[in-house]
């Protein structure tokens, strides 16, 4: 499989294929809102998502738009790999704070207290029914990424894969994603993946 495109959202900068799409100031929430506008998503559900889901949806949006342009069969042949260190920890903390401070849990917060919900939001937005893997690790290591790619591609028949590393803790966030597919591009070997995701 080849790297068709890649993207990153960190420190107020959203970029795709090393081209800066947006540079925004202010809080994380504000940056995410600016990205949402820049990407012209027209998806009111976005505002209801928790921060980790927003981050995952935003950084993969340019790649999935590109995949659609390339004629990828998103419904049946798109695999997703989502990796993270902190997972849903920031939302877990919020759920627990609401529950202890008010005595009542908030349903809309609780439903986001799983690490794979961001991937779920991506599948819902883009109607992706294929295979997905949600893995938690200290860092985006190329070995695990390559193994996951092999599982989705060689075992589950996914012709396209979006591989995502996204992490939020406190107000720090960092997300990188690559789109892999059959078209022209650098082969998805360890070196390429290390450059685009692991560093």
Partner 1 sequence: MDPQALKQQLKEQIITQLNLEEVKVEDIADDKPLFGEGLGLDSIDALELIVLLERHYGIKVTDPKQGQTIFRSVNTMAEFIQSQK
Partner 2 sequence: MEILLGAPACLTPLGPDLPTTLAAMRAGTSALLPSPFPGSEDPVHIGRVDDVWLTGSGRRSQRMIGRVVRHTLPRLTRNLRTEPRTCFILATTKGDVKALEQGRPEDTMLPVFAARMGAAQGFSGQPIVVSSACISGTLAIKLAADLIALGEFDHALVVGFDEASDFVLSGFLSLHAVAAEGCKPFDDARDGISLGEASASVVLSRDRSLFTEGAVAEYIGGGMGNDANHISGPSRIGEGLVRAVQAAMDSAGLAATDIHHINAHGTGSLYNDGMEAIAFGRLGLGHAPVNSYKGYFGHTLGTAGLVETLIAVEGLRQGTMLRSLGATNTTAMPDMDILRRTGTPQETFY
SS3 of the chain: helix, strand, coil, percent, to 5: 45, 25, 30
47 binds, among partner 2, partner 1, none (CB under 5 to 8 A by kind): partner 1
Answer for the pair 149, 143: CB distance below 8 angstroms, yes or no: no
The tokens of 34 are what? 């600016």
Does 101 participate in binding partner 1 (rule CB under 8 A)? no
List 89, 106, 123, 198, residue binding partner 1 (CB under 8 A):
106
List 4, 58, 133, 177, residue binding partner 2 (CB under 8 A):
133
61 binds, among partner 1, partner 2, none (CB under 5 to 8 A by kind): none
Site string for partner 2, 90-129 (x = CB under 8 A): --xx-xx--x---xxxxx--xxxxxxxx--xx-xx-xxxx
Report the helix count and the strand count for the chain, using DSSP H and E.
Answer: 8, 8
Give the Cα separation of 107 and 150 in Å (integer): 37
Give the Cα separation of 18 and 159 in Å (integer): 24
Does 44 participate in binding partner 2 (rule CB under 8 A)? no
List 28, 111, 114, 151, residue binding partner 1 (CB under 8 A):
111
The tokens of 20 are what? 């800066």
Cβ proximity to partner 1, 25 vs 102, nearer residue:
102
């Amino acid at each position: 499989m080849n790297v068709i495109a890649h993207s990153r959202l960190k420190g107020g900068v959203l970029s795709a294929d090393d081209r800066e799409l947006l540079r925004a100031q202010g809080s994380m929430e504000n940056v995410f809102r600016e990205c949402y506008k820049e990407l012209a998503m027209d998806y009111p559900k976005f505002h209801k998502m928790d921060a980790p889901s927003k981050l995952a949806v935003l950084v993969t949006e340019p790649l999935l738009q590109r995949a659609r342009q390339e004629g990828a069969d998103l419904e049946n042949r798109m695999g997703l790999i989502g990796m993270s260190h902190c997972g849903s920890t920031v939302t877990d903390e919020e759920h627990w704070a609401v529950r202890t401070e008010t005595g009542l849990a908030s349903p809309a917060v609780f439903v986001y207290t799983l690490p794979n919900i961001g991937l779920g939001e991506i599948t819902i937005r883009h109607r992706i029914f294929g295979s997905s893997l949600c893995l938690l690790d200290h860092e985006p290591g190329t070995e695990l990424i390559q193994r996951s790619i092999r599982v989705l591609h060689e075992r589950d028949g996914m012709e396209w894969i979006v591989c995502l590393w996204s992490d939020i803790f406190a107000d720090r966030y960092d997300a990188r994603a690559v789109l892999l597919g059959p078209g022209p591009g650098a082969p998805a070997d360890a070196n390429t993946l290390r450059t685009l995701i692991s560093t």
